[in-house]
Structure 1
């Protein structure tokens, strides 16, 4: 049973922990929780650990145009009792391995893609933070690892951590969490999960309910695509669905050979795709709206041109009479930009406008009608889906910190920072580090809102020194109690890491530009 007293500094106690997700956040969280002697179950909807770094050549289903509200997520949440019911969850079979196939045949593949939509990883993906800055404290990268490596090596590193630190053996693969709620007495968390299993006549979905003292959400940022409501985009998608895709569906530059491509967005994914298709596509246009985190046009390859925000997509009269296009034919229509420019002869559109924060298994903490400024003290995700509200230090849900999140911050050395968060969660959930009172956590959160404002920037640690300061604050907090708990102190960033981090920041400083410097008309310097 978990306990938490909101009135004073209190230890959170529990023995059983559910971890949702087996990407780097979930693997680190589970490994550190196991080290603290807790009973851990990891729920992972795919077949293998790796999260966003797991490459799956299959394409995820189209998102709605425009996107759904945040509580919908990227899959249809089942209704209670919709599938066969059994309890407790099955024992994980250590001999089966994380890559065990479910079944064969097109129907099985279709069901698996709908059940667990593949992530945004593509074959040419590489890390954009050097490996020497994004190592877990669990173990280093293999000796001789280059600073920037292929997706395959990053995925293998995560899977090695999972295997070597006992996480594989406590993970239920092919198991999706559809609902997380407190029991009526408030003592425990009830988790309703659905498992995709082999059956005598083909794949089947089985629903189970299990109970935990504590829950860690480590499901990541990159699940639910954000699709803007631009006039006419929905009609382009409906008329020529294969020609308009989200960046989550990008797999290879081969599809863009000899074509004119419009990429919507100016973030990392948009830049990566522009670079990947350089020399393959005939011409690339990248549309930027002038957002705070837009990357500068100077980073684009020679064959790509930065253009302003899009006003509308229009289809010609000819388009309404045609159902299919030849491979070399452009979409019969025009793209009107907000400065009045018109782009014609566009063959493909890639919507690289990012993702929505969404936890569809926590519907009670979502409000799809509440604006960001009115979240109050209960709501986790509001209508915009750009931030997670009401988290103490971006980790613990203030109203009930038996619910924790690992992986919320943006623009960080991900593996390293998420590992620090995981260490904190493990010590708090093991009862070795007390939390402040709810009142104190609320004061600290409100002060941060006042300083950083609401929105995506709330979770950003991009500014010089912010990431190091954030981690040091966590380390200082934990170490105030480490000796009394009989634990070794939590180690901070090394001086070598800090120097390397500052050098990396200096090399990339200027990657973000003021909005007034972004999306100038074509030809303007």
Structure 2
């Protein structure tokens, strides 16, 4: 059994993120008697379900390494005086006016880039099972909900369980590292203070015993390195965007649209723009989780993988004003790998997923190490496809005072994160105990051998995998809890498991046709 001296009631915990994962983690940590501070860079809770009409700035074309996230952390002291000014309202805190700038909106967008939520976002898992045990949905909630209902639900959980009261909004974590003696975490934050005269950034550094990361999957867009794409973006900056910047379909009214990617967001954009855009093309590469064409509107034109973007230089020179006119097709062609040439496109939306990135943990990320060479210490490697070296996808094996909520993919998120948060809180409060480091490493390596490295490593899509994962967590908590006289932690209700099985069967039949079990491993959830 690993040493548990670092854990226990009264320990201080920093939680990064106030989406459903962060709210769940903070709520259960508070219930177990720990001292919790949540840092949320937006001005309210909700995470991926928080809708912001503003759009984030462009990512690099092509996307960079995992260290280049959707924001670049500041350097220590960048927003701090060597000595606090005499009028500092908080004794002993360094601070500095960073921007006395009328462009508050631009600063806010750069500081906390708006998320990927679009106006028409709805749940693809019914609320009967997409629910937290922290509280039910409001009476009368339908099985399908809008983003604002989900956002309100998350915020309500935060208020009802004391999370809102311990959350510092408009506060971004720029660096998290262990103290020199290795006993605590130095958490360096930057807070955006909004004022009538202009906004300013305030830097603070505080120490915590434990750190829980719940920053989510959908922050850093992946942009492929297609030949010519960088030049297209530079020439037509407003016409080439990523799905994280998509808000409403009306922008594409009467236009010819190319959507690159067949995951959830790319397919949703195709559905929303059907009947509004003139033509909608969807480029797919034939990946495991591509949405089948028969689930899209019949008007969507499914095409193959893009090979390159070609400019027609002669039609561009001296015609910048024409290029700004949305009614004018882009003067170039898109060549597919099968040789097909696509022309008369007005807009391109790139929806090929996101990069795993924790920019506030730079010492645990490498832009050069291949995923197969991650070793026993690295958390993120060059491809940004997974989080390495986690026990049960939660605890960082070399130092379990660092933990994560929300790493698994293809799961019933609200319910899954609830169980992960309970596990986190029990361990951090010394009411459940981690195996030895050697045992955790052995279990992790066996999983790598079975699953391989990459995005699939964290997938719970296969039939029964999510239920088994949760059962494993709950058995662990109750085994240790019984020995300590702690209350029993219930697992999935039988009715919940049955409803999930029915949902998976229905989705598999819709996804794959008459033989849902033949490709159960590729379930779309």
TM over 0.5: yes
Report the secondary structure of 1:177's partner residue.
strand
Q: Which moved more, 1:248-257 or 1:298-307?
A: 298-307
In the alignment, which residue of structure 2 is the partner of 1:430? 429
Alignment of 1:109-508 (within 5 A): 109-199=105-195, 201-321=197-317, 322-324=319-321, 325=323, 326-508=325-507
CA distance in 2, matches of 1:47, 1:510: 41
Q: Is the 8 A contact 1:263 1:349 kept in 2?
A: yes
Q: Which moved more, 1:316-325 or 1:81-90?
A: 81-90
CA distance in 2, matches of 1:513, 1:10: 47
Q: Is the 8 A contact 2:6 2:209 kept in 1?
A: no
Q: CA deviation at 1:140?
A: 1.0
In the alignment, which residue of structure 1 is the partner of 2:517? none
Report the secondary structure of 1:216's partner residue.
strand
Q: CA deviation at 1:202?
A: 1.9
Q: What is the root-mean-square deviation in Å for CA atoms of aligned residues?
A: 2.0
Q: Is the 8 A contact 2:4 2:430 kept in 1?
A: no
Q: Which moved more, 1:497-506 or 1:195-204?
A: 195-204
Report the secondary structure of 1:479's partner residue.
helix
In the alignment, which residue of structure 2 is the partner of 1:98? none
Q: CA deviation at 1:89?
A: 11
CA distance in 1, matches of 2:228, 2:464: 43
Report the secondary structure of 1:242's partner residue.
coil
Given the superposition, is the C-alpha separation of residues 8 and 39 from structure 1 closer, same or farther in structure 2, using an over 3 Å criterion?
Answer: closer
Q: Which moved more, 1:339-348 or 1:481-490?
A: 481-490
Given the superposition, is the C-alpha separation of residues 303 and 89 from structure 1 closer, same or farther in structure 2, using an over 3 Å criterion?
Answer: farther
In the alignment, which residue of structure 2 is the partner of 1:19? 15
Given the superposition, is the C-alpha separation of residues 207 and 375 from structure 1 closer, same or farther in structure 2, using an over 3 Å criterion?
Answer: same
Verify: 1:41 aligned to 2:40, yes or no: no
Q: Is the 8 A contact 1:293 1:512 kept in 2?
A: no
CA distance in 1, matches of 2:184, 2:326: 56
Q: Which moved more, 1:451-460 or 1:477-486?
A: 477-486
Q: CA deviation at 1:185?
A: 0.4
Q: Is the 8 A contact 2:260 2:348 kept in 1?
A: yes
CA distance in 1, matches of 2:461, 2:246: 27
In the alignment, which residue of structure 2 is the partner of 1:94? none
Given the superposition, is the C-alpha separation of residues 251 and 405 from structure 1 closer, same or farther in structure 2, using an over 3 Å criterion?
Answer: same
In the alignment, which residue of structure 1 is the partner of 2:516? none
Q: Is the 8 A contact 1:12 1:435 kept in 2?
A: no
CA distance in 2, matches of 1:347, 1:510: 36
Q: CA deviation at 1:512?
A: 6.1
* Structure 1 alignment gaps of length 5 or more: 1-6, 92-102, 515-525
CA distance in 2, matches of 1:331, 1:429: 55
TM-score (normalizing by structure 1): 0.92
Q: Is the 8 A contact 1:11 1:435 kept in 2?
A: no
In the alignment, which residue of structure 2 is the partner of 1:65? 61
Q: Is the 8 A contact 1:18 1:215 kept in 2?
A: yes
Given the superposition, is the C-alpha separation of residues 505 and 313 from structure 1 closer, same or farther in structure 2, using an over 3 Å criterion?
Answer: same
Q: Is the 8 A contact 2:100 2:200 kept in 1?
A: no
- C-alpha offsets along residues 375-402 of structure 1, whole Å, 9 cap, x if unaligned? 0011000000000000001000000000
Q: CA deviation at 1:483?
A: 2.5
CA distance in 2, matches of 1:431, 1:214: 13
CA distance in 1, matches of 2:287, 2:512: 9
CA distance in 2, matches of 1:204, 1:486: 50
Report the secondary structure of 1:207's partner residue.
strand
CA distance in 1, matches of 2:89, 2:224: 39
Given the superposition, is the C-alpha separation of residues 10 and 217 from structure 1 closer, same or farther in structure 2, using an over 3 Å criterion?
Answer: same
Report the secondary structure of 1:412's partner residue.
coil
In the alignment, which residue of structure 2 is the partner of 1:519? none
CA distance in 2, matches of 1:391, 1:319: 53
Q: Is the 8 A contact 1:126 1:150 kept in 2?
A: yes
Q: CA deviation at 1:68?
A: 1.5
- C-alpha offsets along residues 442-472 of structure 1, whole Å, 9 cap, x if unaligned? 0100111111111000000000000000000
Q: Is the 8 A contact 2:16 2:214 kept in 1?
A: yes
Verify: 1:51 aligned to 2:50, yes or no: no
CA distance in 1, matches of 2:72, 2:432: 38
Q: Which moved more, 1:425-434 or 1:290-299?
A: 290-299
TM-score (normalizing by structure 2): 0.92
CA distance in 2, matches of 1:431, 1:446: 26
Q: Is the 8 A contact 1:60 1:248 kept in 2?
A: yes
- C-alpha offsets along residues 463-487 of structure 1, whole Å, 9 cap, x if unaligned? 0000000000000000001123332
- C-alpha offsets along residues 263-294 of structure 1, whole Å, 9 cap, x if unaligned? 00010000100000010001111001111221
- C-alpha offsets along residues 413-460 of structure 1, whole Å, 9 cap, x if unaligned? 000001100000000000110100000000100111111111000000
Report the secondary structure of 1:18's partner residue.
strand
